Amino acid sequence: MTAPKIDYAALFAAIPSPCLVLGTDLVIVDANPSYLRMTMRTKQELVGQHIFDAFPDNPADPDADGMQNLSTSLHRVLSAGHEDTMALQRYDIPITGHTGMFEERWWSPVNTPVLGPNGEVMWIIHRVQDMTAYVHARQAAHRPPGTGEWEEDMEAELYVRARELQRLNEELRQAHARERRTAVALQEAMLQSPDLARHQDVAVRYLPATRSLNVCGDWYDVVDLGGDRFTVAVGDVVGHGLMAATVMGMLRSALSATTRAVHGPAQALEVLGLYARSVEGALAATAVQVLIDTHGLLAIYSSAGHLPPVLLHADGTCDLLDQATDPPLAARPEHIPRPQAVMTYVHGDTLVLYTDGLIERHDEDIDTGLARLTAVLAACSGLSAEHLADAVLTRLGLTGGGRDDIALIVVRL
């Protein structure tokens, strides 16, 4: 039996709760009949208007803060992608046909994001409940029929606590915002790669998981070794947040220093693995490093449990650098030399290193993700490093980030 097609416009019109649909620019896209009746507006008067042009603060009320509170909530939804429930608000609305006159109104608003396929906010549903009659009854000390004195006191207490909760929540959000700014600054400082500026054909991208604090355990690095040689590397520490970022910074710095003192990626990862045993939180961290010899046209590589880099040829074919893979860092109790392999390349080839957030999906195996990546690379083989990095993220639907952290390096050889 075929299910009937759902008429979502009819459903929206039938919702008894007053609702607005806002674009990400906070312009009113639609309003259901319940909202129009409640505000005594027509759809023609509202649709296409910015919400704060349609409903400005009452200029006669010096304490009016409804517009500011609603703006804060809506921008919080846009930035975080989460529903935001507001405390009871006074927000007077203009009286239709009486310029400059406002009617006192009290609202209980809820702002809910409508997310697109990649988790980005497409619209906001602004749903409200008109609490004006109740507030006026409370202010006039009128008790609703059948309401006892104890219930009345409880209602008043709940109202006071709701306002206090709103204030505390705002303080917590401000503290979280400060923590996030600090964390992002820390992450950016730890990902500084001075040698990268000397390589115009190397593009890097870093995207934290969409639900994280915007810091993570993924990293990239570029190290010049003098002459015609330099290395590129990516790594992945398990977890998100400040702890993972701290471990990432320690491992990245250690590998960068080690690379300058040893001969080849295998020795560098060998030393890094020994160091990782003493770092709490480094268990199961992975890394891969490729040494580029531009004189000999060689890519010398070694991997500590990491996904294989891809060598993209000008004709669109791809080779996986998967012949020197060993267990993750700190995963092996005894000391055994790590393997190393060599791949030749020609001018115009492109090397791509990445972390698992680029290709892994929870409902499929890793080979499917690798095949998807190589297909995208094959279709974009003629692009520069910068454009290829952007194209990969776009075609994989990850321009706004994904469920996991992503680090990406693209090198035009």
| pLDDT 10s digits, 282-297 | 888 999 999 999 999 9
Least confident of 3-17, 91-105, 178-192: 178-192
pLDDT digit string (tens) for 52-71? Answer: 998 988 888 888 888 888 99
Query: Hunting for tokens 């998807």 — which residue is that?
Result: 372
pLDDT reading at 82 higher than 70:
yes
Pair 351, 168: CB distance under 8 Å: no
Q: In this structure, what DSSP letter does residue 219 have?
A: E
Backbone angles phi, psi at 332, to 5 degrees: -110, 125
* CB-based contacts of 403, cutoff 8 Å, min separation 6: 209, 210, 211, 357, 362
Token couple for 184 = 């992002």
What pLDDT shows up at residue 150? Answer: 46
Residue with tokens 């309401």: 147
Determine the residue type at 55.
F
Please determine, for residue 259, whether its predicted confidence score (pLDDT) is greater than 70. Answer: yes
Residue holding tokens 């957030």?
357
Task: Give the model's pLDDT for residue 241.
Answer: 67
Is pLDDT above 50 for 372? Answer: yes
Residue 353 pairs in a beta bridge with 409
Q: What's the angle, vertex CA 92, arms to CA 90 and CA 93, rounded to 5? A: 145
175-195 per-position pLDDT tens digit: 766 766 666 666 666 677 788
What is the C-alpha to C-alpha distance for residues 331 and 126, in angstroms, rounded to an integer? 50
* Total residue count of the chain as it appears in this document: 413
Residue 276 CA: distances (Å) to CA of 3, 17, 166, 331, 373: 56, 56, 45, 9, 30
Give residues with Cβ within 8 angstroms of 69, minimum separation 6: 86, 89, 166
Residue 157 has pLDDT above 90, yes or no: no
Cβ-contact 398, 218 below 8 angstroms? no
Residue 143 has pLDDT above 60, yes or no: no
- For residue 413, give the nearest of 363, 354, 356, 343 by alpha carbon: 343
Query: Is residue 161's pLDDT more than 80?
Result: no
pTM across the whole model: 0.60
Q: What is the pLDDT of residues 389-400, one digit of tens each?
A: 999 999 988 877
Average pLDDT, the chain: 84
How confident is the model over 405-409, as a mean pLDDT?
A: 88
Residue 92 backbone class (left: φ over 0; alpha: ψ -120 to 50; beta: rest): beta
Phi, psi for residue 223 in degrees, rounded to 5? -130, 125
**The pLDDT value given to residue 249:** 82
